[in-house]
Each structure stands twice: as C-alpha cells, then as structure tokens.
Amino acid sequence: MILTVTLNTALDITYRVRSLRPHTSHRVTEVTERPGGKGLNVARVLAALGHEVTVTGFTGGATGRTVQDRLTAVPGLVDALVPVGGPTRRTIAVADEQSGDTTQLNEPGPTVTSAEWSAFQESYEDLVPSAAAVALCGSLPPGVPVGAYAGLIRTAKAAGVPVLLDTSGEALRRGIAARPDIVKPNADELSELTGSHEPLRATQDARRRGALAVVASLGKEGLLAATPEGRWRAAPPTAVHGNPTGAGDSVAAALLSGLVEELPWPARLTRAIALSAATVRSPVAGEFDRMAYEDLLDRVTVTQEASAA
C-alpha cells in the first residue's frame, strides 16, 4: 500500500469554454468535477497504474462529502480522510479550447484546529507502518503548523518508510531538513529554496539541505534529477499543449511507483515524463490519457549529466 497525504484536499472543477476573454460572459461547453488536491491526484494516478493506495488528509462540509463520494468510485483506493469543521476548498480550472491553455483559481481551504491536527497525527501514525511509501503533497491549510511536513517525514522515517515531499515555500524548507527520500520542486520552488537560478547547481544545493534525491520539474524542458546514483535530464519528444492541472502530480506518482517497484532512475524518469505529458493531453484536470502515455514511453529522452563541481 502507498499512503498519500493531502492536508488541503479540494474538489477540482473544470469548465471548458470556446475562448476565454477578460471582461466578458462565457458559455461553458462542459463541466467536470473530480476529487483534487495534489495527494489525491497522485493517488488516482497510482491506482490507475495498479497500485493499492490509501488517502488521508482533511475533508469537511458539503464539498468534502462530494470529494469522498467521488473517491468511492476509484478502484484500489481506500479513504482514510480525517473530518474537520470547515468546508473543503474548490479549485476552478477554465480550459480555453481555442488556445489550449488553462486558467486556474484556487481557494485557500478550511482553518484546521489544534484538536483536528492532533486527530490527524494519530491517524497518520496508525497508517504509516503498513505503507510501502508515503507521499506528502501540496499546500498547508490555515491552522496547520508550518513545520508539519517535517514532523510527518520524521514519523515515516522512524518506521522505515520512504517519503516523497512535494510542497513549496517554508513548508518545503523545513521539510527538506527532515531528510525525505525524494523532493519534487518546480523551477520556481527550487530557486526560492536555494537562491540559485541554475537548475543543476540548485539540485545539488537541495540535496545538501537534506533530500536524498531531488527531481526538479523544468516545464517544457522536462525533468532534472539529482540522485545518489547520478544525475539525469528527461524530456518529452515534442512540446505538449493542454490542461497542465495535475501534471506535476503525475510526476510524483511515477516517482513513487518506480520507488516501490525498485526501478532504476532512468526508467522512473521515463515514466514520469510520459505520465506528465499524458496528463496535459487529458481534457479533465488530474487525469491522464492512457493511449498517449503508452505511446510516449518509447519516445522519452533520458540523458546522464556530468556531476556538478
């Protein structure tokens, strides 16, 4: 079982419009809703890849009930979400059919009380020993301590369970010091963490701060991985256009599945690029196009980098 943690779960709503223009009214051609938040997106992809997944985090209100109702339809996924008094947030993706671009609107999430945070920690401590790996993903909702991920990493490591961390800002800075096995920042998050705009140097710095391996998402340039076994760049065969919502979460799912399957790093990165690109091509936030994924697996380029000085 793989455990994914989404402290700030969401209901992802995607609106499709012919052409998105400011200061005008739009007729929506299609509406879709999916359970969201980074960890739930990771869990759905892992389940689609055939892994058993347990999801935990917070859920509340009518939106939270909708999220949990939708999770019951996902084969291989177990719901261990912890209730809170405030309502689960919504995220709105507006997909422009003409340009292929997407505009994203994210609500902040409910305020978590100290009692609710304590209840979550107790549940998490019960779940971790049964996990093959843990994913800690996304933003912290109001009320959760900024060092929350660092504590959750230490709990997993004490149980001998590897951890992937995918967050940003101070939560990333504190979390990386707890020595997660993998961190997955994007280029901006990596630069903010290290102060360097040169990705190869920045990944080296991020590893010195505590991460065993760093896999940086560099947008159209693909992925840069710095690991104990070496450094690699991975890129899709062509530029990919579409809805990017959940593409980074598909990278995290690929890295986790590769970790528990004990794949070599080039194979993990090939899977990550193919899944990410197939997610962008999907019309629905946080899903992936399986035919595109299988086609891309044979066409991803992975090259080894020389060590940084």
| CA–CA separation, 155 and 128 (whole Å) | 8
Select which of 12, 96, 249, 289 is catalytic.
249
| CA–CA separation, 201 and 129 (whole Å) | 35
Consecutive H or E run containing 140? none
pLDDT score at 213: 96
Give the three-class secondary structure for 284: coil
The parts of the chain modelled with pLDDT lower than 70 are 240-245, 283-286, 307-309
CB-based contacts of 257: which residues, under 8 Å, 6+ apart?
2, 46, 49, 51, 271
Nearest to 105 by CA among 122, 92, 94, 87: 92
Nearest to 186 by CA among 139, 218, 227: 218
pLDDT score at 237: 81
| CA–CA separation, 208 and 186 (whole Å) | 18
pLDDT score at 283: 64
Is this model's pTM higher than 0.85 or not?
yes
Is 166 one of the catalytic residues? no
CB neighbourhood size of 260 (10 A): 15
The torsion defined by the Cα of 248, 167, 38 and 139, in degrees rounded to 10, comes to -140
- What DSSP line would sit under 212-266, residue for residue? SEEEEE-GGG-EEEEETTEEEEEE-SS---S--TTHHHHHHHHHHHHHHTT--HH
Residues 10, 90: contact at Cβ < 8 Å? yes
